Amino acid sequence: MKGDWSGGRDSGLVLALADALGRETRRSWRIMEVCGGQTHAFMRFGLGDILPTGLELIHGPGCPVCVTSVGAIDAVIGLAARPEVTVCTFGDMLRVPGTRGDLLTAKARGGDVRIYYSPMQALEWARTEPGREVMVFAVGFETTAPSYALLLDRAMREGVHNLSVLSALVLVPPVLRHLWKDGSRSRVEGLLAPGHVCAVTGFEEYEALAREIRIPVAVTGFEPVELMSGLLACVRLMERGESGVVNAYPRVVQREGNRRARALLEDVFRVERRYLRGIGWIESGGWGLSETHARFDAQERFGLDLCHAAADVQCISGRILQGLAKPLECPVFGTACTPERPLGPTMVSSEGACAAYYRYGVPGGRS
């Protein structure tokens, strides 16, 4: 069996959980791990090799880099070409292709494109370079949204005027509702909810979601024991024909989430429609800037037109993100599309399913 079990990862407990899964999985089940980080963890630790044959993992839309729209990427590439603008973002975004290339190419052409490890670094750049427009490309789910909210709260309090944010922030539950409305229910019978998202928001909305789509949801972390515990909890509910939510990540997640973070998010952001790459428009699917923080809105400041163009026709990342296909079903996987020459975002991102398959191979020899 593959896997690195160092750092407090209990291989004996993982194998015991695998044995329990084998005993209790009496039917064939398909469970979607919503988060791309969970996909990578399953493959990195070789957990697919010890799952019962009747249990299939379906990859979901939980890769924020992957669902960021082509229109937003093109707009940011255009901003990077302006001599007075500094574009700031996480490193994952540099090689995600738009219709006008990518941000790494824009940087190579002389654009001031900077990578941060925390969005707060952009505030420091804005403070020290008051003659430049510092634009933050805010990409992420509920997990990273508080860091952008803190950035905007600080900028407001300090009266920083040369900082702006283009929000591509996405909310996970509305995306899942959209997928079930569009027919993904026929492929998926259980969900592993992203623990880092629920650490911020709690899981009350996932309880409502479980009632609506009538499937079980297990909130999980990213360590082998947590992932296997989540699978076992989900299988037990499915075998009993029950829906509902089980918190398999109690050391981090509480039902109400982080109240201070939620209050800050509600102050800085407002819920709006969001266009997701490969999926389409999602009602109440993202966060834009609230009225009180609208002065920092890069779309308004620079008059950006986010034209949501289609992605590369050879790339099936949209189907992968919707749980309708897997990377090996793509005709260009590993040939025309590789991490060195990606056609789509799921091959670029550190949370992309295609990148996981390319790096770690197929779990248990199954596609």
Alpha carbons 15 and 19: distance in angstroms, whole number: 6
Residue 333 per-residue DSSP state = B
DSSP character string of 48-64: GGGS-TTEEEEEEEE-H
Q: Nearest CA to 359 among 329, 317, 327?
A: 327
Element (H, E) at 273: strand 269-276
Rounded Cα–Cα distance for residues 350 and 79 (Å): 25
User: What three-state secondary structure class fits 116?
Assistant: coil
5, pLDDT greater than 80:
no
The partner residues of 140 in beta bridges, in order of sequence, read 169
Instruction: Check whether 8 has a pLDDT greater than 80.
Output: no
Residues with Cβ within 8 Å of residue 215, at least 6 apart in sequence: 185, 188, 189, 190, 191, 238, 243
Weakest mean pLDDT among 126-130, 161-165, 286-290, 303-307: 303-307
Question: Tens digits of per-residue pLDDT, 219-247?
Answer: 999 999 999 999 999 999 999 999 999 99
Contacts of residue 19, Cβ cutoff 8 Å, sequence gap at least 6: none
Calculate mean pLDDT across residues 248-276: 96
User: Which residues are CB-neighbours of 216 under 8 A, at least 6 positions away?
Assistant: 190, 191, 210, 233, 234, 237, 238, 242, 243, 244, 245, 246
pLDDT (average), residues 278-286: 94
For residues 300 and 165, give the distance between their C-alpha atoms in angstroms, rounded to a whole number: 10
Q: What token pair was written down for 321?
A: 């993100």
pLDDT digits (tens, 9 = 90+) for 26-42: 999 999 999 999 999 99
Which three-class secondary structure string do you get for 125-177? HHHHCCCCEEEEEEEECCCCHHHHHHHHHHHHHHCCCCEEEEEEEECHHHHHH
Rg (CA), the chain: 21
Instruction: Please give the torsion angle defined by the CA atoms of residues 195, 347, 277 and 172, in that order, rounded to the nearest 10 degrees.
Output: 0
Domain ranges in the chain are 12-311, 317-360
pLDDT at residue 138 above 70?
yes
pTM tops 0.75: yes
| CATH dotted code for 12-311 | 3.40.50.11740
User: Which residues have C-beta within 8 Å of that of residue 154, sequence separation ≥ 6?
Assistant: 120, 123, 160
The reported pLDDT for the residue numbered 312 is 58
More confident: 314 or 53:
53
In the sheet that holds 85-89, the strands lie side by side as 112-115, 85-89, 133-140, 163-170, 280-289, 269-276
Query: 152: pLDDT confidence band, cut at 50, 70 and 90?
Result: very high
Spatial neighbors of 39 by CB under 8 A, at least 6 apart, are 33, 57, 59, 351, 353, 356
Residue of 327 and 305 predicted with greater confidence = 327
For residue 79, give the 3-state DSSP assignment.
helix
Contacts of 357 (CB under 8 A, 6+ apart): 43, 326, 327, 328, 333
Quote the DSSP letter at residue 98. Answer: B
Question: pLDDT confidence of 186, banded at 50, 70, 90?
Answer: low
Beta-sheet pairing, 244-247 with 216-220: parallel
